[in-house]
């Protein structure tokens, strides 16, 4: 079994919502979710990433997981954003009920704003951790400076920052310089958006003008793909998986065939090593492109 497969985490947003710039098909049907979970279990994928805000993703997982008895998955969910929400223990309880679980591997704030709306909730998470309802406390973040600030404030207050999930891809390497500091602090690092929500698969010349600054990097990526006879997906996955500080790379899939294809790409990861330095040169810094929340509606 390829050791890099253990660094894959299965993102489940598409199990509960229509999601992604290149996803024309919509929400994954339940029978296909079961097929994907069986493939994941067989391949050695150990982590499932979901959230209270991912439509009915948690409920779908709760329905499907009993049919995958060999899937000894670690489950991660997220406390949703919003004002006037019920207490965090109540929201977590609903997530656990939906998932059919007694505890979670990790429970994350869905964003920095989620935490800022209810600052006392970090202490509440700490209590839930002490009760054994969650093993790790974490944050889903967008900006490296936010992780460093949380690390410092958590340390002062005696609160756990055990895990972060952040965007990272060939185009978006903003986090690379802070990963070593986070690892030194014992933080588990999960990354998402290795394909930048499908942007890397689009024809660069057909993109909206908003993405003009990304066109040279995307064209270079396509050229490397052709020269090496490696799909763009293999380059993107391999680049993230080969980062030593990264513990898990979260990928979403639209159907079982796509997930199987991703597993096959992981099997070719050794072919990427000679061009790792070249891939590092394709990074861009414009957050209007790197953060999908800033894309044209």
The number of domains in the chain is 1
- Determine which of 22-36, 109-123, 246-260 has the lowest per-residue pLDDT on average: 22-36
- Higher pLDDT: 156 or 194? It is 194
**What pLDDT, on a 0 to 100 scale, did the predictor assign at position 107?**
98
Mean pLDDT (the chain) is: 93
pLDDT in tens, 1-47: 688 999 999 999 999 986 554 445 678 999 999 999 999 999 999 99
Per DSSP, what are the bridge partners of residue 188?
163
Range 251-258 average pLDDT: 93
**What pLDDT, on a 0 to 100 scale, did the predictor assign at position 21?**
47
Q: Which two tokens stand for residue 269?
A: 């990861």
Rounded distance between C-alpha atoms, residue 185 and residue 155, angstroms: 10
- Higher pLDDT: 86 or 168? It is 168
pLDDT in tens, 36-62: 999 999 999 999 999 998 899 999 999
Q: Which domain holds residue 40?
A: 3-294
- Reported confidence tier of residue 138, pLDDT bands at 50, 70, 90: very high
Q: Reply yes or no on whether the pLDDT at 272 is more than 90.
A: yes
Neighbouring C-alpha atoms within 13 Å toward the C-beta of 65: 21
Q: Reply yes or no on whether the pLDDT at 64 is more than 80.
A: yes
> What percent of the chain has pLDDT above 70?
97
- Entry pTM: 0.95
- Higher pLDDT: 23 or 278? It is 278
Q: Reply yes or no on whether the pLDDT at 287 is more than 50.
A: yes
Range 93-100 average pLDDT: 98
For residue 222, what is the domain's CATH number? 3.20.20.100
Distance of CA 25 to the CA centre of its chain: 20
Identify which of 176, 186, 110 has the alpha carbon closest to the alpha carbon of residue 154. 186
> Residue for token digits 């998955």?
73
Q: Reply yes or no on whether the pLDDT at 297 is more than 90.
A: no
Buried b (16+ CB within 10 A) or exposed e, 194-203: bbbbbbbbbe
**What pLDDT, on a 0 to 100 scale, did the predictor assign at position 188?**
98
**What pLDDT, on a 0 to 100 scale, did the predictor assign at position 24?**
57
CB atoms within 10 A of CB 32: 18
């Amino acid at each position: 079994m390829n050791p890099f497969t253990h660094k894959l985490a299965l993102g489940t947003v598409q199990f509960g919502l229509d999601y992604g710039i290149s996803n024309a098909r919509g929400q994954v049907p339940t029978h296909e979710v079961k097929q994907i979970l069986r493939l994941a279990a067989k391949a050695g994928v150990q982590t499932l990433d979901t959230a209270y805000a991912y439509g009915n993703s948690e409920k779908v997982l709760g329905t499907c997981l009993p049919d995958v008895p060999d899937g000894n998955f670690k489950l991660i969910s997220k406390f949703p954003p919003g004002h006037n929400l019920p207490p965090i223990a109540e929201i977590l309880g609903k997530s656990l009920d939906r998932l059919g679980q007694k505890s979670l591997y990790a429970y994350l704030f869905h964003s920095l704003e989620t935490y800022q709306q209810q600052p006392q909730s970090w202490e509440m998470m700490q209590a839930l951790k002490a009760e054994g309802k969650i093993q790790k406390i974490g944050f889903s973040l967008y900006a490296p400076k936010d992780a460093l600030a949380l690390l410092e404030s958590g340390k002062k207050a005696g609160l756990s920052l055990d895990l972060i999930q952040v965007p990272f891809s060939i185009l978006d390497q903003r986090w690379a310089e802070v990963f070593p500091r986070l690892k030194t602090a014992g933080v588990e690092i999960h990354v998402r958006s290795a394909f930048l929500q499908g942007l890397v698969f689009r024809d660069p010349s057909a993109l909206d003008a908003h993405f003009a600054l990304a066109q040279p990097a995307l064209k270079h990526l396509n050229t490397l793909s052709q020269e090496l006879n490696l799909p763009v997906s293999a380059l993107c996955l391999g680049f993230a998986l080969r980062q030593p500080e990264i513990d898990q790379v979260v990928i979403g899939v639209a159907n079982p065939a796509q997930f199987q294809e991703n597993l096959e790409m992981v099997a070719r990861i050794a072919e990427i090593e000679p061009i790792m330095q070249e891939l590092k040169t394709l990074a861009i810094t414009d957050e209007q492109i790197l953060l999908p929340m800033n894309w044209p509606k």
